[in-house]
Every structure is written in C-alpha cells, then in structure tokens.
Structure 1
C-alpha cells in the first residue's frame, strides 16, 4: 500500500478507501479511580470515531468503559495494562521478575484539578490533569478539542513520561492517539498508545537493528523474520523495548506483531501498536542507561554466565563433511599454533547436507562418540548445527506428525535444497506442547551424551503461519517461538553438560536468559562488518549481554558461495571478533587462518591476544550477568550526557575499560572519537586527552585502533596456550595502563605476541 503520510493509514493500518469494516475507539477522560489491592484502576470511556481521515466522535454510538490498571514495582518501574476482551495483566514466559522487584502499593489523592497516584513512600508516580484547557476565545472557526486522556507518569518519581494527549493539528486531524483500540469486523483487533517525545529526544534499542544509533524518525515492524543479511530493515531479533535519551525505557509486554514509531509518524510522539486488543506496558526509570537496562532485565531475566571454553576461538565453515576433514583441520590448527577451543559442524554432519535428523552420517562419521572424545582429548569441544523444522524426508516425520510434536500444516510445500528460510519444510516443532519439548530434548540428549557441548539453535525467526499449534495462534507464536526453542535447547544442554549455552540467531524479549546469540548471515564486505556492529550495539541496548558474529562475514559477494575474501577484510574482522564477547569463524567458504598465508601470522598474534584477554573478558561477563551492561557496549552506557555518543555506531566499549574502533575500509584509516577522560593507546602507549576527534587516524593492518582508560588494570594471561583448558586463572597477571606503559611490545604480553 502506498504511503499516505497520515497516521490513521500509515501507522494504524486503516484502508485509505475506508471501505473495510473497521472503526477507531478513542480514550476519553477517566470517570473514576479506584484501589484494587496494591494497584489503582482508571475507568476510561472510549468513544467510537467516524470513519474519515478527519475524525470526529460518533456520538450516536454509546461509549464503552474499559479499565486501565496501574502497578508499581519498586521505586523505578510502572506497569500499565488495559485488556479490552481479556485480563489486563497476565504473566508470560517473557517475564522473569526478579525477587528483589516487589510490588509497591499505590494510593491516590483527588482534587478538582488533579488526581495524584502515590506509592508507599509518598512519591508521586502518576498524575491525571483535570484542569480545563485555557482559552482566550475570539473565533469558532475550528471547534475546541475533544475529550482525551491527559496522564503523566513518573517511573522514578522524577522524570515525566507524558501520554500524547494533544498530538494534533486541529481536533479532527491527529498525528498520534493517547490510547485507542481498533475494531474490525465487529471484533476488537489492535491497540495503540503514545507518549510525548521532545524535539531533541533520541531513541535506541528495539532489537538487533542494522541501522544508525539514534533511531528517532524511524518506525519498525515487530515481526521476526530471516534477516538475510545485516544491511536491511528485516530483523532476526526484534525486541519490544526502547530507551530514550531522557532516561526512561518502554517495554511492551506482548508477543503479538506490532510496531514502534519513534518520533517518525509524528515528531511529537513515541507510538506503540500491537495487533491484539490489549496493551501491557512497563515504563522503566533510571539515571543511567545501565540502570534502565538492569530494570528491564529485572523484568525479563538476566543473562547467565558462560563457560570458560566458550570465550576461546570457534572454528567453522558451511560446512565440514567428515571426521577425516575435521581431524585434518584441528590437527593443522594445533600444529601451526592457532589457539582454538571449539570446532563447529554446520549443515553437513547428517545423512544428507541440510537434512536435519539429529544423527551423524554413519559412513562419514562411523563412531561419533569416539570422534567427539578424541577431539576433547586434544582440547576441542564440539558444537553442532540443527534447526527446529521437520523435513519431508526426515526419518522423524511420521512420529512427529502422528504424535503432534510438530504443527498441523494445512499445505505442505516441496522442500528445496539449502532452504535459507524459504520455510518449505513439512512442519515446525511445536514448543507450545510439553510432550514435543521433551521429545526434542531427547533428540539433543543423545548428542550431548556423546560429549557434544553446544547446540546451534539456528533459524526460529519464521514458523509455519498457515498451521495449528497446541498453545497459541501462529501470529502470537511467531515472535515468541525463539524463546521457547532456545529455552528447550539451553535446559537440556545444562542438564547434561552442566553448562548453560546455545548458539542462537533469532530473539525476542527474554531470550537474553539463554545465551549466546550471534548476528546472522552478514556479507563478507565492509558493509557487512559495519552492519554487524550496528546490530551488536542495538541488541546490547535491548537487554542482551552476549553477542557474536561470523568472522569474516558469512557469505561471499557477489558469488554467494565462492567469492574470494580479501586478506585485509579477514584481518580487520578478526580484530573485531577478538574484541567481542565471543569469536567464531564461519561462512560459506574456507575460514581457517592458514588458508590465508599472506596474513596468517597477523591472525595468529590476534588469536593469542584474545586468549591473553580471557581473564578480563570473564570478569566483564560476570558483571554482565548481574547488571544492565552487555559485554560489547554502545558509548552511551558510559557517556549518556555526551550528545555525540548518541550518534556513534562504529565504535564501542569492550567491557569497562577498552575503547574499540574497528577499521572498516582498505585504506587503513578512520576517524575516531575519544570521549571525556584520559586514553592510552593499546599499541603505542601514547596518552590522549579525551573529548576530541582523531581525524583520519592511520592504523597499520597488524594493529587496531584500541585505547584503554588511563589507570586501568587489565587482568591478562601472558602465557602460551593452545586452548582454555590450559589457562590457570590463578596465574592471571595485571596489565597496568599507567605512565610506565609504553606500548604492547614492551609489556608483559610482549613474549606471547612475538
């Protein structure tokens, strides 16, 4: 449909011809306020509007009364919920509310001009304006404003988050609605709510966005789908959470499809739309981004700590096909001194490439348990690829169909080759059905009992939509599916191995509880590198703590499978991987560093640096599991008042102390912004006073633009290892960035990096 530039059509999805059986019901001023337990409840009349772009109330149709419930959690979180045909506040698998986050009883005070809602400490958490609009009458050319919902919330008791009561040109021409519900074919269908946006307000989060840091002026669909790269508007990981530069967050608690518009359809409003007749929203206050993200995690769960071996190098390509091939690669990595912990087998370990049956090919892997154990004896852990779809040729098809472990599909398509999410499989495993979950866990348990340590929970962004599932409708399951899928794999992996871990691509609210996630199928290009970093920054601003990416990109350009990867791209992406929470080589062609002889020595040194930094990385990871910080952090986590940092999407903090600026071109130079503070260059030791730009900063291929906060004491392991089993954390030392630091070549890491 063509854009009309009117909110009713472009955001609320009305047919511009107004021929459909749809109507808008707009919230009016509340008529009562009551206590219900610890909550307060507003009784709000909704008035039907006439179907036209210039809307006006249909006063011949009686109003309908609905209840808006408000609850406070602690001192900095407010929950607002309205259910038009169901309960207003419901629990879901998305929520994992922390025990410390207790409900704070509310009460209210009424005056003629204002209703005040206060918590148990006497702090004001909301106010309803009942004052008449001030006027100086001189014309009746345009009628006065209609009734509206004029509410202001104070999530932390201080900062005001105001509902968009009067986002309009004149009373009949709205750019946003404070609160409204759409009726379709006689049934309540979708809900919208809006909050006021300041002229200079900026927004971040909403999932893994491959776009600029400040999201103001953009609208995003909250519908998971295969991103098919990292340079478009599609998203593997939508998260219905955003954070404002005014230091508040909004979490829309739903799995239904929806939209978030951040000062886009109207520069005066943040607009929420959910395709269900309910709205359940958490407003999260705080003084710093980390505090707001911690509040979000207190609602939806904290990431769990990952095992030490996971922070080492993961080696993979699409794909390894036999025990002989894997052994040859692993032996060569050891022989040529490339430290590595994980060997990942992608789509080729089955009977037929891409035909996921959760069983090793008996000809190419004749004794998989022995194969896995031999690798473990050499310090390698094995990770395996699979997917949540049942192929028409899979040996499990009949069982899955007969026992209803997969969805009931109304139309089965002919399966193709490598698929890439065309979703032409026979069905999707139904994780809303407990028996199907246990069946799936059983498939994985056989592999984990062999000694496999991690399951790659690939795909899961798309499900069969023309199908029936046990627990919910496909439109509600689509976004939530990733959480149910990853939860099952995570739980059985932790049960069998003791380590809670998956390697996942899709995501939704709550998925951060089941780390770790990677950024999907990026192109092997500078554009792919830049898009990957943007995605990593935004997913870190959406509650996720651990995130990785395919080094040096997943697919070739322009030949998807076979384009040659430039040496400098391989090195620069390796550097990015070293300073990410996890480092995995993967893609459609050769990924092993010895296949790039001209730069293999440079890569070897970078992998040794990675292993030297594992003690620091583990310290920062522990912090990630208890706070709102991700490992890879946007600059605004530490400099929220620096307006420049709200626009920088090509630099990041690696933990508390490193400032990392990847080179993303073949010219070996870039502009770098150093925020306030004193910064020591990791390689040269040169000290620079921050709050400045280093324009056209030159950096040779074997180095990277990395700075460390002056005075930082970085935990490092300055000893040679081939894998993390050889790291004795008791032998960790401190690399101190004081006046005595004159560069990495003169440091305690010098012998390791020769």
Structure 2
C-alpha cells in the first residue's frame, strides 16, 4: 500500500522515503503577516514563510532565513473577493478562463490597523476581511511538546456577511498537522507548488468540481483536477474537471488556474477544505450568495455565460458509431419520417472519412460522392448534419506534412509505440496547437470548408488529453492539458457561428469557461442502469459547476459485456429515452443500432416520448434562456431550489427540469423507485394526481410507458400540441398554455391526439 493517510505524503506529495527529498523538496509554511498597505484598489499583506525540515513532523528549519511574499486581496462588486499570491512568476489578471461581465468591476478596499488584528473593508464600511495577529491564550504548565508555530490566520467576508475562515491550526499536536493554512513547496530551490486551506464545519456539504460521477455531497473526498478520457461514467476519471466548488455554508471558491491541482473536501482532515496546485501561484476567487443559484451566477459573472443554442438543436439527434455512406443515412432519415418519428439532426461519427477514424476533415468521395448536395437534400427534409472529428493529427492524414512543417501541431519530443486502439491521444502523431494563432486559423479553415457545404454542427470530441512529451508555442503541456478543451471548443464554436449564424458545438471535455461554448455531453457511458445513474450524477455536478446545457448518449454508448455488440435491453432503451426527453438536449448514440424501429416491441412507446419532447420545446426554450442570464442550468440538482432542505444536498437521482418539473428517472428493471417530493404542492404530469411535498414516496411504481414526473401545482406550461416532423415546421405563435390546475388530468390525453 502506498497510501499513508498522512497529509504530508498523500496530499502534499512528498516521497515516503524522505531521503529522496533531502536537498530536493522543501515545505515553506506561512507566519503572521508583518505589514499591510494599499495596492491599487486592493490591499497587500506581507507574509513571511518559514522553511520546514524534511520530516513528516512539521518542524521549522531555523538555519534558513524566512522569505516574505505579498498576498493581494481585491474585491469585485459586492460579493466576490480575490486572494492572490505569487511565490514565483506573476498572477494573471486576465486569461482565457476569465470573461468578466461588464458589471463585475473592482471596488476599492481600505484597511484599519488595530493592536491584535487588521480590518479590511470597502469604502462603505462593509468588512471584507479580518487578519488575526493575536497570540493564543495559554496556561503554561508543561514543556512536553513545543509551542505551535506562527500561522497566517484570517476570516474573509466576500459579501460582508458570509464568513470563510482560513484554517490556521488544523493539527493533533503542533508538529502533526493535517492542513496548511498557506504554504508552498520548493523543488531544487525553486517554488513549485502552492497550498491553502479553509476551515470546514462538521455538517458542511460540497458540490460541483465538474462532471463528478459521485454522490451529491462530495465531502470526504479528494479529487485530482486533471482532465482525462473518462472511459465511462462510473470511475474517478472524468472528462470535465472544473476548479470550482460550492459549499452548503453559502459560498463558492474558484481556483483561477489550469495547472494540475488537488481538492480535498474534508477528506485528509474533516476540519478543512484543502487546495494544492502544481504551480507557484495561488489565485482564488471566493464568492457568496443567498442561494446556490446566486453563487453560481457570480461564478459565471467571472467566467462567462453561454448563448442559447439554436432551436433545432433541442430536437432529437440520431447517431451511432457509425454511419458509413450517404445511402445509409438517407435510408435512416426516410424511415424515421415514414414511421412518424420527429427528428432534427443526423450525426455522422467516425465513418465519413476515407478511412474510419482517420480524421482528415474530408468526406469519402466514393461513399459520399456529392456531400454538398447530400447535405442540402437532407436540409430540405428538415435534417441537419453534425460531423465528428478530433484535435489530433495522424501520420497518415493528408494534413500531416503541412501541420508538421508549419508547426500547426505540437512538436513531439519522443515518439512512442502506438497501440492502435483508436481511443487514445497517443494513437496520433501530434495535437493541434491552439496556443498558436496561425494553427487556430488553419483549424478554422478546415471546419469552414465543411460548414460552407451546409454542415450544421461539429462534434469536438476528445480534448481531455494532449501529447505531453511535446512542445507547444505559448504554454507548457502541463498548463495546457486542462485548458486545452477551452481553446479547442472556442475555435470550433467561433467558426461555426461565423459561417452558420448558430453558436454551438457538441463537446466532451471541459474546464472553467467551457460553459460559454455549449453543448457538452457526458461521455462514453455504459449501456446499463449504472451507466445511466452515473451519467445523471455527472450532469448534476456539471450543472453545479456553471454549465447550463448538457446531454448524454441515449441509451448509453457502449455495450456490456461486449463493448461493440451487446444487445440493448428494451426497458433500458425506454427509460433512458425518458431521461433524455427531460434533458436540455437529446441525442441517440452508441456502438450498435440506436434507431427506434430496431426495437419493435417498444417502438410505439418511444415514438410517443419523442412527440412529447417536441411538445415541450416551448418550455425548454423558455427555460434555456434563463441559463444565459442566471446561475441556473436547465437540468438542476434539487438543492438549487431547496438549499435549506438537508435531504436535497444528498439526492443525486432526481432533478428539476427548469423551474417547474421534478423528474425522477426509473433506473432499474423493476419499474419502481423511491421518490422524494420536496416542499410544495405537486401534480403528477402523467396522471394528474396531486400530492403535498416534503415527504418520501416509497416503492413508487411506474409502468414502462410512464415516468415519475411532477409539476408544481398551478403553474402554466407552454407546449406545442401540433404534430411536426422537425423544428422547422414549428410556429411558436401556435404555442398553447397548459394550466396545471384541478382540471389537469395528465398529459398523455393531449399528446396521443397529435
């Protein structure tokens, strides 16, 4: 076992063989600040740091002189504080991650010096921070153990009310510490890593951090903020790490970095939240809000809001891995219309190139002889085309020589043996270098050629991992790896909007700021009940991390146990369809047949649910607009509407769909589940039955054609109750308002007449 359960080794990453660290790594621990001064509109603290001996016991190395660094505290608006310190290098005032709203402006701070503390406040007298300089009270009687070292101690008040305390003395005895209030680590004498900790309450709960396939309350876990190919939705790897968490104590924290980082949410110590980032800079935004939605809103004020994707994108997307010819696609489109399945998008995955998986951004001329006419013909029938591609260049690709000679892709230092899996970055010769403006323009031109043909959307697959043993123009691979998704998706989004007028991509990877470029989907889920459950968990946490639009592969991406060929059970197909209907976007995709007519026993049920999806589009459109101006995602964890209800901080298999729907997917073959109805008056969307909340419904049964869905009583739901083949046929002036009152007897009576 390598795990030691000591913070020094397991969190700070010191080698358990300390002889390997002597003369190499050194921990520097913060002391009390020694000076305070103005720094522009902010306030600057001078903080000395004391080197520690190379030991699991935290003991000062007094043979080394202290070093002082400056902590800068700045305020933005009325509820955001920024705390920054650079041990080496500089703090970026701007980056690709930040897209501050116009109203987020820096506000002036001032300070007052008292004997045992300093007060930092804004110009209206609202206290923003207290710096504690006092000496702990003691009643001395023993010298068995040494006195504690000095520590940086402060309480931060982003909104003047919510308090966030720096974790100053999280320890057993002074030499056995479980958290560092503020510290850095040098490697070969050069600052290398930074860490900081904040006090946590015994019942504090945490959510967010990206697409986390975990329980709702993340307390007791440590997460590596390092994007990886998740290879499913049931493990610790994830495609979308977001350096932001939200606390039940009414605050959020955003780590402004793309460096590999760790986040311990009361794991290594139940008394502290701990941050470790693999760079000698800390740049933290702490934000408060009266509700989780307001905290996420403040986060989006810093990192950006999305635009509403085009209406057609909210219709059904049909795909599988993969379609290989225009004839095959035309047959599928014809049959969907013939059998009365409304659909808007046909996605071509890896098979539209000359060679499957060999991405060259060109149609196979034999199997797609006239792609522009092919796309145009489908558009006339109400279908738009989405295309798969990825950001890596293969040696066999037509663009390889140009990309290498013009340095549009990274320069790989060491060529590694390839495994030919087609699922790995290393299967390719290099990664497109989006840190290089000329490479960005070159990539945009590749997409522009396709978009000019009439292609409507680009699937920006992969991007979680890049070639690491390589050189990029303007960033180290270690800093670029997490940020890569943002640069990649931004380029595709911008050229798509430029050519088509519609801003969207279909993206898998993610980092802070990627929410500006929807739509993101949940990766390669197993076609199983646990794959469905894991997908929902990931989507809920992503929504709590600032992402408004999210989807998933219906009914799961890969088969179990046969990855490519396992048969999808009928009930799983239906239940995942229902989940998809109540998600911001719905796309069918996977390694085998996904078209509903291949499932004759359930085809009629699926058709009725697709029609329900289109009937709900006025409501979905209305709710989607909210995510462009608020902290709300379309698919929301219950805690966003009921933060005072402790139960809702634990529920990860139900959600709000917009403001008014409470959705509880069935995720088993028994057609039953427990349902929690939070406070309020609820009406069953399919039966009209009325119930009063805050209670559990145990063993709630729902036949295969129905789903546990409730609507808030007395709300009005805009719906489109005319039959259509696609969104092009919709006229929202014909939208009807359905009143969820005592006369409402269930929605199927309306849908089945379409």
TM-score calculated relative to the size of structure 1: 0.99
Report the Cα offset of residue 265 of structure 1. 0.3
**What is the SS of the residue equivalent to 2:403?**
helix
Name the CA distance, whole Å, in 2 between partners of 1:418 and 1:370. 34
Q: Deviations over 1:696-721 (max 9, x none)?
A: 00000000000000011011000000
* Counterpart for residue 98 of structure 1: 101
Aligned position for 1:646: 649
Aligned position for 1:46: 49
- 1:471 corresponds to 2:474: yes
Cα separation, 2, equivalents of 1:120 and 1:502: 44
Q: Does 1:167 align with 2:161?
A: no
Asked if the contact 1:413/1:426 (under 8 Å) is kept, the reply is: no
Alignment map for 1:141-540 (pairs within 5 Å): 141-540=144-543
Deviation (angstroms), 1:138: 2.1
Q: Is the 8 A contact 1:354 1:417 kept in 2?
A: no
> Are the equivalent residues in 1 in contact too, given 2:556–2:589 (CA < 8 A)?
yes
Rounded to whole Å, the distance in 2 between the matches of 1:268 and 1:91 is: 33
Look up the match of 1:612.
615
Following TM superposition, the consecutive aligned residue runs of length 4 or more in structure 1 with deviations greater than 3 angstroms are 413-418
Aligned counterpart, 2:9: 9
Contact 1:673 1:693 in 2 (8 A): yes
Q: 1:555 aligns with which of 555, 558, 561?
A: 558
Q: 1:88 and 1:224 mapped to 2: Cα distance?
A: 23
Structure 1 residue 412: deviation in Å? 2.7
| Deviation by residue 1:291-342 (Cα, 9 ceiling, x = unmatched) | 0000000000001111000000000000000000000000000000000000
Tell me: CA distance 1:335–1:417, structure 2 relative to 1, closer, same or farther (3 Å).
farther
Give the match for residue 83 of structure 2. Answer: 80
Matches within 5 A, 1:731-742: 731-742=734-745
Q: What's the secondary structure of 2:540's corresponding residue?
A: helix
For residues 577 and 586 of structure 1, the distance between their equivalents in structure 2, rounded to whole angstroms, comes to 12
Q: Are the counterparts in 1 of residues 687 and 745 from structure 2 also a CA contact under 8 Å? A: yes
Q: CA deviation at 1:102?
A: 1.0
Q: What's 2:131 paired with?
A: 128
Kept in 2, the 8 Å contact 1:237–1:506? The answer is yes
Aligned length: 751
**Is the contact made by 1:456 and 1:503 (CA closer than 8 Å) also made in structure 2?**
yes
1:697 correspondence with 2:694: no
Q: State the distance in 2 between where 1:416 and 1:337 align.
A: 44
User: SS of the counterpart of 1:423?
Assistant: helix
Counterpart of 2:285 in 1: which secondary structure?
A: strand
Is contact 2:611–2:751 with CA below 8 Å preserved after alignment? Answer: no
Q: Is the Cα–Cα contact under 8 Å of residues 215 and 537 in structure 2 kept in the other structure?
A: yes
- Bigger Cα displacement from structure 2, 668-677 vs 81-90: 81-90
Correspondence 1:106-117 to 2 at 5 A: 106-117=109-120
User: How much has 1:414 moved relative to structure 2?
Assistant: 5.0
Per-residue CA deviation, residues 228-277 of structure 1 (Å, 9 max, x unaligned), is 00000001000000000001000000000010000000000000000000
Q: Deviations over 1:432-454 (max 9, x none)?
A: 00000000000000000000010
1:352-399 CA-to-partner distances (Å, cap 9, x unmatched) read 000000000000000000000000000000000000000110010000
Structure 1 residue aligned with 2:26: 23
> Helix, strand or coil for the counterpart of 1:680?
strand
Secondary structure of 2:404's counterpart equals helix
Structure 1 vs Structure 2 CA RMSD: 0.9
Gaps spanning 5+ residues in structure 2: where? none
TM-score (structure 2 length as normaliser): 0.99
Is contact 1:69-1:88 (8 Å) kept?
no
**2:608–2:752 contact (8 Å) kept in structure 1:** no
CA contact 1:322–1:349 (8 Å) conserved in 2: yes
Cα contact 1:383–1:456 (8 A) shared by 2? yes
Partner of 1:751: 753
Q: Secondary structure at the match of 1:170?
A: coil
User: Which residue, out of 579, 583, 587, partners 2:586?
Assistant: 583
1:10 CA drift (Å): 0.4
CA distance in 1, matches of 2:368, 2:355: 13
Q: CA deviation at 1:411?
A: 2.3
- Please tell me whether the aligned partners of residues 156 and 284 of structure 1 are also in contact (alpha carbons under 8 angstroms): yes
The 8 Å contact of residues 392 and 425 in structure 2, kept in 1 or not, is answered as no
**SS of equivalent residue, structure 2 residue 359:** coil
Write the distance in 2 (CA, Å) between the matches of 1:578 and 1:423: 36
Gaps of 5+ in 1: none
